Amino acid sequence: MPHILITGANGQLGQALASCFSSAKQLTCWTRPRYDITDPAIADAVAETKPDVVVNAAAWTDVDGAEKSPQFAFNVNALGPKYLAEGCARCGGSLVQISSNEVFAGEPGRFYHEYDQTSPGSVYSRSKAAGEVAAATALDRLFIVRVAWLYSAGSNNFPAKISAAADRHGSLRVVSDEFGNPTYAPDVAVAVAKLIETQRYGIYHLVNDGSASRYDWATELLRLTGRGALQVDPISAREWPRPTTPPPHAVLVNQAGAALGITLRDWRDALRDYVQTELNK
């Protein structure tokens, strides 16, 4: 297995990637503050380390916060990938740039394939789209991997927050007109490992199969955790005001990965595994 360098190794996906690549002959994990991808010198650090593959799991993921701090969001999500790609170009490595379903407008009823035209709206989504372009401009040996509604162990994700809110309030109001692909980070990590082996660079949508609304996702989680009798009221996104408006139907289709035999299981099966392995610890 090649020398893998993971940036953002302490995040949800970064930890899943580190676990997945734990048997690699050489695995390097970078975290802030020692390794800050917004520093142009990170390109020098990559070139000196000489990894075969950099997997960039570092990102500004605070979608609402990006509206207040656009400069910081673009520093992390656009300039960071640029510097990493430049470092890879200098040492002959390749880059896996993790991107987002939110680069699409999310038109109701629309399902997005890898080569559909992006149309980002929010600061966060524009910064992620800019990161794709910046990396592609600097490097040919590039995988762009878009994910959606990512979750794993920890408390900073939708399932964990829903579980905590259910215990705290006894009833919930959940948006029912925003749709996406609930995607389990360990499944993405395995798919990324398979993708790297192909050396077929390009754009990929690596998400768990199927789609759901936030309401669907929440009610399935509550059912799996024995809270199925809890009252959950569906509401519209307009009834849950936020600093930014997420795309209402940014549902991704895995076509390019599937053509290579790389598919992820149904989101319900992944959620069941999450409940059994994470919430029951």
For residue 124, indicate whether it is catalytic. yes
Quick one: tokens of 234? 């569906």
**Quick one: CA torsion of 69, 75, 78, 83, rounded to 10 degrees?**
-170
Burial 11-35 (b: 16+ CB within 10 A, else e): bbbbbbbbebbeebeebbbbeeeeb
Q: What is the DSSP string of 256-274?
A: HHHHTT----BHHHHHHHH
Using DSSP's 3-state secondary structure scheme, residue 141 falls into: coil
Quick one: tokens of 256? 């390019």
d(CA 226, CA 239): 27
Quick one: tokens of 228? 């199925």
d(CA 162, CA 160): 5
DSSP state of 239: G
From the candidates 124, 151, 184, 204, which is the catalytic residue?
124
Q: State the helix-helix crossing angle for 123-138 and 80-91, rounded to 10 degrees.
A: 20
Length reported for the chain: 281
Provide the 10 A C-beta neighbour count for residue 202. 15
Active-site positions read 124
